[in-house]
Amino acid sequence: MPSRLYRYLKRTIATTITLAIAIALPVRLATAETTKQNGDILPATLERIVTSPSDYLGERVTISGELEEILSTNTIELEEDDEPLEVLNDKRILVIFNTDFDTSTLSENTVLEVSGRVRMMRVADYRRQFAITQNLELLETIEVEYEGRPVIYADSVRVIE
Q: What are the distances in angstroms from CA 44 to CA 50, 70, 134?
A: 10, 23, 35
Q: What is the pTM of this model?
A: 0.68
Would you kindly state where each structural domain of the chain is located, as residue ranges?
Answer: 1-40, 42-159
Percent of the chain with pLDDT over 90: 19
Pick the CATH number of 42-159 from 1.25.40.10, 3.40.1350.10, 3.30.70.360, 2.40.50.140: 2.40.50.140
Res. 123: pLDDT tops 70: yes
Mean pLDDT of 80-109: 74
Closest CA relative to residue 145, chosen from 66, 75, 42 = 75
Closest CA relative to residue 49, chosen from 150, 123, 144 = 150
Predicted local distance difference test score (pLDDT) of residue 34 = 27
Give the span between the Cα atoms of 140 and 138, in whole angstroms.
5
Give the span between the Cα atoms of 134 and 140, in whole angstroms.
12
Q: How confident is the model at residue 150 (pLDDT cuts 50, 70, 90)?
A: very high
